[in-house]
Amino acid sequence: MRANVAAYIAARDGGDPADKDAVFLTNGASDSVKNILEMLVRGPTDGVMVPTPQYPLYSAALTIMGARRVSYGLLEAEGWGVGVDDWEAAHAAAVAEGTTVRALVVINPGNPTGKVLSLAGMEDLVRFRERHTLVLMADEVYQVNVYAEGKAFTSFKRVVQSLGSPVELVSFHSTSKGMIGECGLRGGSMEVVNFHPHAMDVFYKAASVSLCSSIPGQAAMDVMVKPPVEGEPSFALYKQEMDATYDALRCKTAKLASVLNTLPGIHATGRNETGRAVRKRAARRDRRVCRTWVGLWESARNLPHPHYLPANRGCDGTDGQPDARLPSELYEEIRGGGRRVGRGTCGEGRSSRSQTFGG
Ligand SMILES: Cc1ncc(COP(=O)(O)O)c(C=O)c1O
């Protein structure tokens, strides 16, 4: 199975070889992230650079470990990109406070921003990491969830190798995102690059403490990285199901952006850019935070259910006519076994699952 994951990584990275012995099968990305953090963090003055906004696994794990979170801001004005100046400033401030910064986390494609990093941004990040002695933790669990025209995922492994960089990199993948979305089976993998052999021994020793990762999860990972190929009997059905799921997720991304744009004070501009990012500029300011959110809450309560907004035409299989009913009325209808919400083209596949904001 590890050989299959390595072959998948090599194919994804344009043929750059991947070593199966550098691949670990894991119980999803959460476990491997926590394990790596536990190995890196030695005490309360150690810290890890984490983006803001972030997926809260990182802040929560660091808090439990009693370690420091060193925040670096994502640049909202640049579609939630990354900036060298901000890393340098965040790093310098942390060091000045007595923090030993051990690692830098990057989530690409981003959650919750949806941002797909540019190659230039990724190269900057690798060079920043070279200037400081940090492990690069690349959370790449959304690597196939790229919906924007002209955007493509590039792995940090590829960037590190193309730069000939010695950066110590750990890259995380999972079965709980992508197209198969098998969250409950807890499957994932982690590739460890450029580490000293002694460090690799420690990784193996630490992984061995848990004997092995979940076998159903390993099988799910294997299926995900080694799908049916053209000419095999199940290929046509596989492709049909994958395409339908992908289209449904892309459709929901656009739908979510259009619904967010109907809320006062919130702006979302598109897919994999700021599309899934919620801009709360006004809400960040001093006492207006409270007023804004109270206002939002009131407005949201009075909006027709998003599924019924005209912006969904062609996306949800309805006639596209706005429905003036309030969420509470729709709720009653749904509870009473009436028309189901969330079906149609956009509702097929994983209709109730949150793709961007967590499994
Ligand atoms: C960015 C990010 N990293 C990691 C995870 C955890 O993934 P897993 O379900 O594989 O533990 C999630 C889950 O939503 C996520 O969004």
Is pLDDT of 26 > 80?
Answer: yes
Gyration radius from the chain CA atoms: 22
Is pLDDT of 313 > 50?
Answer: no
CATH number, domain at 15?
A: 3.40.640.10
Task: Look up the pTM and report it.
Answer: 0.79
Least confident stretch, 193-197, 208-212, 329-333, 342-346: 342-346
76 and 207 co-located in one domain: yes
Identify the pLDDT of residue 350: 43
Going from the Cα of 359 to the center of ligand 1, the distance in angstroms, rounded, reads 7
Domain membership flag for residue 103:
yes
Q: Between 68 and 253, where is the model more confident?
A: 68
The string of pLDDT tens digits covering residues 208-242 is 998 999 999 999 999 999 999 999 999 999 999 99
Q: Closest residue (by CA) to atom 15 of ligand 1?
A: 358
Identify the pLDDT of residue 192: 97
Q: Closest residue (by CA) to atom 12 of ligand 1?
A: 358
Going from the Cα of 22 to the center of ligand 1, the distance in angstroms, rounded, reads 21
Q: Which domain holds residue 165?
A: 2-225
Ligand 1 binding residues, C-beta < 6 A: 28-30, 55, 57, 107, 111, 139, 141, 174, 176, 183, 188, 358-359
Going from the Cα of 7 to the center of ligand 1, the distance in angstroms, rounded, reads 23
Identify the pLDDT of residue 261: 83
Domain membership flag for residue 352:
no
Domain membership flag for residue 358:
no
Q: Residue 59 and residue 254: Cα distance in Å, rounded?
A: 29
The string of pLDDT tens digits covering residues 69-102 is 999 999 888 888 888 888 999 999 999 999 999 9
272 and 194 co-located in one domain: no
How many domains does the chain fold into? 2
Domain membership flag for residue 356:
no
248 and 329 co-located in one domain: yes
Identify the pLDDT of residue 336: 60
Identify the pLDDT of residue 148: 83
Q: How many CA atoms lie within 13 A of 260 on its CB side?
A: 19
Q: Between 281 and 193, where is the model more confident?
A: 193
340 and 194 co-located in one domain: no
Identify the pLDDT of residue 254: 83
191 and 295 co-located in one domain: no
What is the atom index within ligand 1 of the atom nearest the CA of 356? Answer: 16
Domain membership flag for residue 242:
yes
241 and 192 co-located in one domain: no
- CA angle at 151 for the pair 84 and 272, rounded to the nearest 5°: 75
Rounded-to-5 percentages of helix, strand, coil across the chain: 45, 10, 45
172 and 243 co-located in one domain: no
Q: CA of 289: how far to CAs of 257, 265, 280, 281, 336, in Å?
A: 22, 11, 9, 10, 37
Last residue of a domain, one of 225, 255, 271: 225
Last residue of a domain, one of 206, 225, 244: 225
Cβ atoms of 51 and 105 closer than 8 Å: yes
197 and 120 co-located in one domain: yes
279 and 168 co-located in one domain: no
Domain membership flag for residue 93:
yes
Last residue of a domain, one of 171, 193, 225: 225
175 and 32 co-located in one domain: yes
156 and 27 co-located in one domain: yes
Q: Residue 67 and residue 58: Cα distance in Å, rounded?
A: 11
Going from the Cα of 179 to the center of ligand 1, the distance in angstroms, rounded, reads 14
